[in-house]
Chain A
Amino acid sequence: MSAPAPPPLPSLAGRIRLSLLKVTLFGIAVVTAAALAIGYHALERLVRSHLATLAATTATQSQAAALFRDREAAMEVLRSIPKEQGISVAELRDPAGAVIARVAHEDQTVPGPLAPAFSLGHVSADVVVDGRKVGRVVLVDGGRPLLRSLLDFLVLDLLGALVTGLVVLAIARRLTRHITQPLTELGAVIRGVRADRDFGRRAPGGSVAEIEELRADFNALLDEIQRRDHDLNRTNAALKRLAFRDPLTGLANRAMFENALLAALRAEGGAGRPGLLYFDLDSFKAVNDTFGHLVGDALLKAIAARLEAELPPSALPARIGGDEFVVLIGGIATEDELRAIAERLQEALQAPLRAGPQILYPGLSVGYALSPENGAAADELIHLADRAMYVSKSRRREAGVHTRWETVPHVDHRSLKMLFDQIDAAGEPAARNEATGMHPGVIDVAKKSA
């Protein structure tokens, strides 16, 4: 059992149009009724006086016929009354009331029950000869002249009503356009805001004061909403940044990285698999202890900048600990491919860089893990890469490979702080001094496949 649908609401324009039409038709009806009432009585008086004249004329013409009671002569006179006078019966009677002659035109009688309304009844005139009444002419009005006049009037009235109605509708259409068009446009702007969050649009101006007011209010409201939306977006972006970015390097933080890793592992199809690289700075604590945190931070920033510079935009580098960086790379076909990337990256990251009077030779241990065909949990993959990195780190330590530095003698120590600011954050390594022979040397990438 479903409830019947509510009837559609009439439109504003429809209502206005209908009201105007009703008022007009009511006005026409009132005017028509008044004009008919007045016209009816005026016409009736006119037709009656005309009939009286006609009867008098006929009486004069009937004198001899009445005097001699000559039926044929009387018939001739009565027949001579023009048909368009609308006489249904014409009679000549003698003074006693007996009929001398009678002419009847049945077709001049208005048919139907309305006949008495239009017929003026009978009009009579005495036939007088030498002061003596010798007969009487009786004319019965069939009602056609009055009916014809009233019908003509009605036809004109209906035509007038039709024309007036059409004109009123046209005027109403133009009038309502001034009201409904701005409303429609306002509605379109509101829908745009709701559906597409299109805050740039504004309702256009109208020509009606109330609608103009509504439009101005709405546009002001839209301005406010737009401002708030802008503020909200900015706050959201800031919050997002706080939540997912490492504030020091600007790289993704652990939370964002784990989300991305989960998404990559969950994703089906496509060429290759996601691979994970795990970097850790060697002897980072020593750099911090020796040169202070400013230099340590500068080193981290430089590594981050190099990561971003070396990696394609599809890869996601992240800083997940003090001196630990991870990289998520999609679309890896083979382990060799991943290893090649790791080696290339390691080499790029280990390029020497200048920090004030110091030249740093950062050492980075790297481990990698490739997501297996059957899939692996995210934390498992991270763990594998982490383990591989530690294996590599311990081997490097055994081999004596770690982060080293040397001081450029001619640089003034007091300008050290100023020079810190000039650290090439873009990661462009300071001129590599081949002559020192201080190359990182062994690239020892331990790997552990899952």
Chain B
Amino acid sequence: MPTRRYIVAAQACWAALCHALALATLGISLVLAGQTSAHAQTTDAAASPAAPATYVLGFLQYFRWPDEAGIERWQICVPAGSTADVAVYDGQTARGRPVSVRRLGPGDPVGDCQVLDLTAAPAAAAVELLQSARRQPILTVGEGASFCTAGGMVCLRRPADGSGFEVSLTAVREGRLKASAQVLLLGRRKGGS
């Protein structure tokens, strides 16, 4: 009886439809549940490039000094003629030690400095300080690739060249400092490419 077959088939389809309806109802409930977790996000504005002082503070995290146990505070030395914004360093700490800034006059010893921030220093003062800090555990940070060829350890790119920095491994090794892998990866990538 073909007619009976059709009836059975039609009613089976109806049952399948019920099945699908149940699933659809479930799906809708899931949508409602999901929509409660819809998120709201803050501004999408792009972050401004980091200032040199920010880099210097960051390097305190990724470089290791030979006798860190004896270091009570991070001494960041800035030549007298530098235009660097040293106010950034005020009140900062790194790895549990406070950060302090010292301005260096001509001829001042650099022995107790952990970092020489030469990013905005007059060229003459920068060269002189670089020479006196040579082979000492003092992280020298300058601007422009020429700084590294002149014996500096870390040279930040000039704002015109984009962000980032390079690390001179030779200078770092001579100063008996240790650079962490992360900072080396960042630096080498910049320098290498």
Contacts and interface: CB of A to CB of B under 8 A. Distances in A.
Contacts of B58: 64, 67-68, 129
B31 interface: yes
Interface residues of A, number: 52
Given A25-B19, A69-B49, A130-B61, A18 B31 contact: no
A70 B33 CA distance: 38
Interface string A92-135: 01101111101000000000011011111110000001100000
A29 interface: yes
A29 B3 contact: no
A291 interface: no
B167 to A, nearest CB: 12
A29 B22 contact: yes
B182 A161 contact: no
Contacts of A33: 22-23, 25-26
Given A10-B4, A161-B19, A116 B186 contact: no
Interface string B28-67: 0011011101110111111111100011001001100000
A32 interface: yes
Nearest to B25: A33
A8 B35 contact: no
What is the interface of chain B mostly: helix, strand, loop, or mixed?
Answer: helix
B163 interface: yes
A371 interface: no
Nearest to B60: A130
Nearest to A30: B22
A161 B96 CA distance: 64
Contacts of B95: 130
Nearest to B19: A29
A378 B107 CA distance: 171
Given A10-B4, A65-B186, A116-B34, A98 B54 contact: no
A265 to B, nearest CB: 54
Contacts of A11: 1, 4
Indicate the size class of the contact surface on chain B: 35 or more
B163 A70 contact: yes
Contacts of A17: 8
B183 A10 contact: no
Interface string B146-189: 00000000000000000111000000000000000011011001
A21 B94 CA distance: 72
Contacts of B94: 130
A36 interface: yes
B71 interface: no
A248 to B, nearest CB: 63
A80 to B, nearest CB: 12
B189 A26 contact: no
Interface in A118-158: 118-122, 129-130, 138, 140, 154
A28 B19 contact: yes
A116 B38 contact: yes
A18 B23 contact: no
A116 B30 CA distance: 9
A129 B25 CA distance: 48
B109 interface: no
Contacts of A372: none
Contact of B61 (A29, A36, A65, A129): A129
B16 interface: yes
A37 interface: yes
Given A130-B61, A154-B23, A8 B4 contact: yes
B12 to A, nearest CB: 6
Interface in A1-50: 8, 10-11, 14, 17-18, 21-22, 25-26, 28-30, 32-33, 36-37, 40
Contacts of B54: 67-69
A54 interface: no
Contacts of A30: 22
A309 B48 CA distance: 140
Nearest to B184: A64
B178 to A, nearest CB: 15
Contacts of B22: 29-30, 32-33
A64 B62 contact: yes
B98 interface: no
Contacts of B8: 10, 14, 17-18
A10 B30 CA distance: 40
B123 interface: no
Contacts of B41: 122, 138
Contact of A25 (B16, B43, B49, B93): B16
B80 interface: no
A3 B58 CA distance: 94
Given A10-B8, A98-B43, A98-B46, A64 B183 contact: yes
A88 interface: no
Given A21-B15, A68-B54, A8 B1 contact: yes
B112 to A, nearest CB: 22
A73 interface: yes
Contact of B31 (A36, A99, A117, A140): A117
27 contacts: A8-B7, A10-B4, A11-B1, A17-B8, A21-B15, A22-B15, A25-B16, A29-B19, A29-B23, A30-B22, A32-B19, A32-B22, A32-B23, A64-B62, A65-B186, A67-B61, A70-B186, A73-B185, A93-B47, A114-B30, A116-B34, A116-B35, A117-B34, A118-B30, A119-B34, A130-B96, A138-B41
Interface of A: 8, 10-11, 14, 17-18, 21-22, 25-26, 28-30, 32-33, 36-37, 40, 63-65, 67-73, 93-94, 96-100, 102, 113-114, 116-122, 129-130, 138, 140, 154, 161, 165
